[in-house]
């Protein structure tokens, strides 16, 4: 593995090749390996180790970036030269700030939880195959077909610049995804964690298999508005579309659903959300792509939008804009992406909190309290229809069930939905305990299962 000392030495070498006013180097990569299986058989094993260096140079108001994965002097020299040539032909950017200097940044008293575990890094093909074997055993016992992946990543990310930034982060991540299929039904589960000891592949397989068995011979239900119980993976894949709008630049560019809604009641009073990289169930580095320390940010409190996240350049632009008065205190929060970019920033460590007085309920409790509704395992093929209302369309998949009189009554054919994330988060009547959840359409979050009223299913599928 590349370590901080070696990475800094690479930065120093690249810096010597540059004639720019300032130089910034992003270094990232690591070791990754996975085992794929389908039809109850392993069909792919692979491993890879790779690191990239991305060099950004700045001449006054001009900047550009070039990248390489070769670390010899000639490759570094060519990469620096490419960045400089690109920068010199750019138009001057009046909003471009000097590269970040950490002097004066207040010391953080928050400690990032351990995110690199030797036990995870040590997982090899034999251990992955053993875990896959246990998942396949579940499928064979129940006469199902299993497919999925067991992946392990041991990664490092760093940023160094000529103004004194030297930040480094190491993290492991182990992930299991498993789908169980029967003749006319299926079930699915997915989970990941920095510490492989927190993963339970056989248990995930048992849950996926149970869903496949219990949703067999699905009946057709009419489209319409239903009470739905969304498991955490379904919740995160829906709400994930909203959080790209919580960056200051999205508001400044008039492309955020929060334009004309900041400080107003947007969601139900029982919705409180923060961005918190320091949460024990979260993952990632405690700094952004300019080296600024990430701050905890309360985004929503009791349904009211309270704050946004800001990169350095965005914060400076907003302080000079018409939005300054309505946004209150605007300062860099450590959520910026690598420059140059057109996205600005976004909160990517989302944590849902249970509002004061809200009691967490299990999915089973939600089911027992539901007279008639639909239980949804996950969603897929989600697309945004109306960005301002956050109207989304997509389909249920891999375990969709009818709930009647407080009991799961069997599987139903999958639905297509047209639902606004704003409407959904204004109609939540019950919450589960927030957990680290993984889906397929959005980034990982700490979210609860939710029971939602008036969820709009528009069509019925044939499977």
Strands 407-411 and 428-431: what pairing?
unpaired
Token pair for 165: 């930034």
Work out whether the CA dihedral 32, 36, 42, 44 comes out positive or negative: negative
Alpha carbons 442 and 382: distance in angstroms, whole number: 10
Return the pLDDT at 1.
Answer: 82
Instruction: Let me know whether 56 and 191 are in one domain.
Output: yes
Of 244, 224, 239, nearest to 423 (Cα)? 239
- Residue 111 is predicted with a pLDDT of 86
* CA neighbor of 360 nearest in space, from 261, 454, 448, 296: 448
Whether residue 352 is contained in a domain is answered as no
Three-state SS at 219: strand
Q: What values do phi and psi take at 268, rounded to 5?
A: -65, 160
* In a shared domain, residues 364 and 425: yes
Burial bucket for residue 341 (CB in 10 Å: 0-12, 13-18, 19+): middle
Q: Is there a domain that residue 449 lies in?
A: yes
CA angle (233 as vertex; 227, 234 as ends), nearest 5: 35
**Spatial separation of the C-alpha atoms in residues 96 and 163, rounded to whole Å:** 16
Q: Is 119 helix (H, G, I), strand (E, B) or coil?
A: helix
Question: Is the domain of 81 the same as that of 229?
Answer: no
The answer to whether residue 291 is domain-embedded is: no
Q: Report if residue 97 sits inside a domain.
A: yes
Domain count of the chain? 2
Q: Does one domain contain both 224 and 363?
A: yes
**Which string of DSSP letters, residue by residue, matches 387-430?**
TTTTEEEEEEEEEEEEEETTEEEEEB--EEEEEEHHHHTTSEEE
Tokens describing residue 413:
């054919």
Q: Output the pLDDT for position 328.
A: 87
DSSP string, 333-387: -S-BPSSS-SS-B---SEEEEEPTTPPP--HHHHHHT-SEEEEEEEEEEEEEEET
Domain annotation covers residue 418: yes
Domain limit, last residue, from 207, 230, 260: 207
- Domain enclosing residue 443, as ranges: 213-239+357-460
What ranges in 181-311 are assigned the alpha helix state H?
201-214, 232-239, 248-252
Q: How far is residue 86's CA from residue 100's CA, in Å, rounded to a whole number?
A: 21
Task: Give the integer Cα–Cα distance in Å for 396 and 20.
Answer: 52
Distance of CA 451 to the CA centre of its chain: 22
Closest by alpha carbon to 288, among 237, 241, 343? 343
Q: In what order do the strands lie in the sheet with 22-38?
A: 62-68, 41-59, 22-38, 145-161, 166-181, 186-193
Q: Are residue 120 and residue 192 in the same domain, yes or no?
A: yes
456 within 8 A of 394, measured Cβ to Cβ: no
Q: Which residues of 109-143 are buried (b: 16+ CB within 10 A; e: fewer)?
A: eeebeebbbeebbebebebbeebbeebbebbeebe
Instruction: Please work out, in degrees rounded to the nearest 5, the angle formed at the alpha carbon of residue 316 by the alpha carbons of 294 and 326.
Output: 90
Beta pairing partners, 402: 374, 410
Per-residue pLDDT of the chain (463 residues; tens, 9 = 90+): 899 999 999 999 999 999 999 999 999 999 999 999 999 999 999 999 999 999 999 999 999 999 999 999 999 999 999 999 999 999 999 999 999 999 877 666 678 999 999 999 999 999 999 999 999 999 999 999 999 999 999 999 999 999 999 999 999 999 999 999 999 999 999 999 999 999 999 999 999 999 999 999 999 999 999 999 999 999 999 999 999 999 999 999 999 999 999 999 999 999 999 999 999 999 999 999 999 999 999 999 999 999 999 999 999 999 999 999 889 899 999 999 999 999 999 999 999 999 888 999 999 999 999 999 999 999 999 999 999 999 999 999 999 999 999 999 999 999 999 999 999 999 999 999 999 999 999 999 999 999 999 999 999 998 9
Residues 199 and 129 in one domain: yes
Q: Are residues 226 and 194 in the same domain?
A: no
281 assigned to some structural domain: no
- Say if 189 falls within a structural domain: yes
Please choose, from the candidates 179, 181, 202, 200, the residue with its C-alpha nearest in 3D space to the C-alpha of residue 191. 200
Q: Does any domain span residue 218? A: yes
Is residue 223 domain-shared with residue 125, that is, in the same domain? Answer: no
Q: Tell me: do 189 and 117 sit in the same domain.
A: yes
Tell me, what CATH number does 124's domain have?
3.30.2290.10
Phi then psi for 447, rounded to 5 degrees? -135, 155
One domain, residues 223 and 160: no
Same domain for 98 and 48: yes
How many Å is the Cα radius of gyration of the chain?
24
- Distance in angstroms (rounded) separating the CA atoms of residues 297 and 314: 16
Q: pTM value? A: 0.96
Q: How far is CA 48 from the centre of its chain?
A: 23
Q: Final residue of a domain: which of 185, 207, 229?
A: 207
Residue at which a domain ends, from 162, 183, 207: 207
Q: Are residue 125 and residue 166 in the same domain, yes or no?
A: yes
């Amino acid at each position: 593995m590349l370590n901080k000392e070696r990475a800094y030495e690479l930065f120093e070498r690249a810096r010597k090749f540059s004639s720019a006013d300032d130089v910034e180097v992003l270094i990232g990569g690591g070791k990754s390996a996975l085992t794929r299986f389908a039809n109850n058989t392993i069909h792919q094993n692979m491993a890879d180790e790779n690191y990239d260096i991305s060099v950004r140079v700045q001449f006054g108001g001009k900047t550009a970036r070039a990248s390489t994965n070769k670390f010899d002097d000639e490759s570094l020299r060519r990469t620096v030269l490419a960045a400089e040539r690109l920068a010199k032909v750019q138009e001057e950017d009046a909003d471009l700030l000097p590269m970040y200097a950490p002097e004066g940044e207040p010391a953080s008293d928050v400690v990032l939880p351990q995110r690199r575990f030797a036990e995870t890094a040590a997982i090899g093909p034999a251990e992955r195959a053993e875990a896959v074997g246990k998942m396949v055993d579940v499928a064979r016992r129940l006469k199902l077909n299993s497919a999925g992946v067991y992946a392990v990543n041991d990664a490092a990310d760093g940023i160094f610049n000529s103004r004194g930034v030297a930040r480094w982060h190491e993290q492991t991540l182990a992930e299991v995804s498993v789908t169980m299929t029967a003749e006319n039904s299926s079930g699915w589960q997915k989970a990941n964690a920095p510490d492989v000891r927190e993963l339970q592949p056989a248990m995930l397989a048992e849950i996926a298999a149970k869903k496949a068995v219990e949703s067999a011979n699905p009946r057709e239900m009419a489209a319409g508005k239903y009470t739905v119980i969304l498991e955490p993976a379904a919740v995160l894949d829906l709400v994930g579309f909203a959080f790209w709008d919580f960056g200051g630049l999205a508001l400044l560019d008039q492309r955020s659903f929060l334009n004309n809604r900041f400080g107003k009641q947007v969601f139900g009073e029982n919705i409180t959300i923060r961005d918190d990289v320091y949460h024990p169930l979260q993952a990632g580095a405690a700094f952004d792509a300019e080296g600024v320390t990430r701050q905890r940010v309360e985004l929503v409190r009791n349904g009211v939008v309270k704050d946004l996240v800001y990169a350095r350049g965005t914060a400076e632009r907003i302080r000079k804009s018409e939005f300054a008065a309505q946004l209150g205190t605007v300062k860099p929060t450590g959520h910026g992406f690598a420059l140059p970019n057109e996205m600005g920033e976004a909160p990517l460590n989302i944590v849902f909190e249970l509002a004061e007085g809200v009691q967490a309920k299990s999915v089973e409790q939600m089911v027992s309290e539901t007279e008639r509704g639909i239980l949804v395992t996950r969603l897929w093929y989600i697309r945004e229809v109306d960005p301002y209302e956050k109207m989304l369309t997509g389909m249920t998949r891999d375990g969709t069930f009818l709930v009647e009189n407080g009991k799961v009554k069997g599987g139903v054919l999958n639905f297509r939905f047209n639902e606004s994330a704003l409407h959904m988060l204004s109609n939540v009547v019950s919450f589960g305990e927030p957990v680290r959840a993984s889906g397929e359409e959005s980034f990982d979050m700490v979210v609860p299962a939710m029971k939602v009223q008036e969820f709009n299913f528009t069509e019925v599928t044939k499977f």
